[in-house]
Amino acid sequence: MVGRISTFAETNYIMSIDNNVQAQEAQAQTQQASGLDAQTYGGLGGSTTSLVLTIGSQVSQLTASSESATTSLASIQETYSVLGTVSNLTTSILSNLSDDISGSGNAASTVASTASTWMAQMTSLLNTQYDGGYLFSGTATDTEPVDTTDYAPTSADTPDTSYYQGSSSGTTFYGANGFSVSTSVQADNSGLEMILRGISLVQTAASSDSSTLSTTLSQAYSLIQEGGTEVAGTQATLSANSAALTQYQSDISTQVTTLTTLSTNMDGADVATATVMVTDLQNQLEASYDTVSKLMSDSLASSLG
């Protein structure tokens, strides 16, 4: 398996955005403090007791969301790692095919037999289970996603996902304030499909004459090479999503710490001022989420550009 996903430079940029938001907090408090004796945040009451209770509830919700994000991060990392192994296998396949195309490789029957091994390896990888479910089945995590027993595409040019048994929709992490991020890759992903289709073409090579064999192997090589490139792009997307989730957890941790401190020091506090502080924290977090979403889009566009 490949190593952990690296931390992106966008994190520092996001933190600078957060610092700017915090610098504006004092001005916002001054504007809102006047006449806010019973102003609420998410249904806060007008007394210190109800404010403390509501803050406690908010802390619990945020903590639970952060724990859920940890589970999603682990799933993303495992998916990324499996795709790394797919990429390694793809590199090996291309090397073998290059030899076969040049005439320094194996006979057609041996090539087909080797391709059957590749197909079995790919099938096993895409049927990887993690934490009680199948990684590449989308939302149908209890369904084995790939069955290549009778998989035999009839054309090198036509996509064929008949091997796929999972759902059409992927899994998504939903956090606070509308934050969401995709956390899965389905086995009918176009890059994975091209690799499987290319391998299937090689499997049929044993029935080809010498002139057809070279053409078939060349078509398979192009398909598998393009599929490998797309898998690398999918990994880039997973990296961006992982970075976004990591930043989300960092923002949640900051808010939980501040809310907990606010609740601890509530005795004798000005409820109106405390309410404004909580409202500002909410605005700060929402701004951070907006920034994360934009950076995710920019990062993906840059990776695939």
Asked, for residue 170, whether it belongs to a domain, the answer is yes
Per-chain mean pLDDT for the chain: 79
295 pLDDT band, cuts 50/70/90, is low
**Residue 36 resides in a domain:** no
Containing domain of residue 265, as a range? 10-15+46-304
Residue 116, both tokens? 């059957």
Q: Is residue 22 part of a domain?
A: no
In a domain, 213, yes or no: yes
* Domain count along the chain: 1
> Is residue 38 assigned to a domain?
no
In a domain, 33, yes or no: no
249 has a pLDDT exceeding 60: yes
Query: pLDDT tens-digit profile of 65-121?
Result: 889 999 999 999 999 999 999 999 999 999 999 888 877 655 666 788 899 999 999
* pTM across the whole model: 0.72
Q: Does residue 157 fall inside a structural domain?
A: yes
Count of CA atoms in the C-beta half-sphere (13 A) of 290? 9
pLDDT at residue 216 in the model: 86
**Domain containing 280 — which CATH number?**
1.20.1330.10
Asked if the structure places residue 70 within a domain, the reply is yes
